[in-house]
Amino acid sequence: MRTILNIIWVVLGGFWLFCGYILAGLISCIFIITIPAGLASFRIAGYVLWPFGRRVVDKSSAGGGSALMNIVWFFIAGWWLALGHVITALAQAVTIIGLPMAWANLKLIPVVCFPFGKEIVAQ
């Protein structure tokens, strides 16, 4: 079932979200201070491309640096990637088959806005 949901996800918007994360990662890697944000973007890109069967949990080792990088990330890429998720969710919610995809998009927004201090694990 997860594989079917992931295939539908990729077709109905996951690929374009993945491309947005790759672009955000490339832009973030231009400056030395934002390289950690670029790496986080690449990490989330893999999750956004194939999200079903995985989940996001809090890292117990996250500290003040994670909070600081979350602020930097939000202003560099977090807000417009979250906007991309909202727009994609609205488009997916038009059809019945797209409703679970829309819900998954909305559940990704907290991770998109503040990815540092989070870890992606298999379910």
pLDDT digits (tens, 9 = 90+) for 45-64: 999 999 988 888 888 777 88
* Strand 54-58 with 118-122, pairing: antiparallel
Mean pLDDT of 87-113: 90
Q: What tokens were used for 47? A: 């999750």
pLDDT classification of 83: cutoffs 50, 70, 90: very high
Mean pLDDT of 2-6: 89
CA atoms within 13 A on the CB side of 23: 11
End-to-end CA distance of the chain: 13
The mean pLDDT value of the chain amounts to: 89
Residue 120's H or E segment, with its range, is strand 118-122
Do the Cβ atoms of 104 and 51 come closer than 8 Å?
A: yes
Number of H helices, E strands in the chain: 6, 2
How many other CB atoms are found less than 10 A from the CB of residue 108? Answer: 21
* pTM given for the model: 0.86
Mean pLDDT of 26-30: 92
Do the Cβ atoms of 70 and 115 come closer than 8 Å?
A: yes
Judged against a pLDDT cut of 80, whether residue 106 lies above it is answered with: yes
> How many residues are given for the chain?
123
**Percent of the chain predicted with pLDDT > 70:** 100
Contacts of 50 (CB under 8 A, 6+ apart): 6, 9, 10, 14
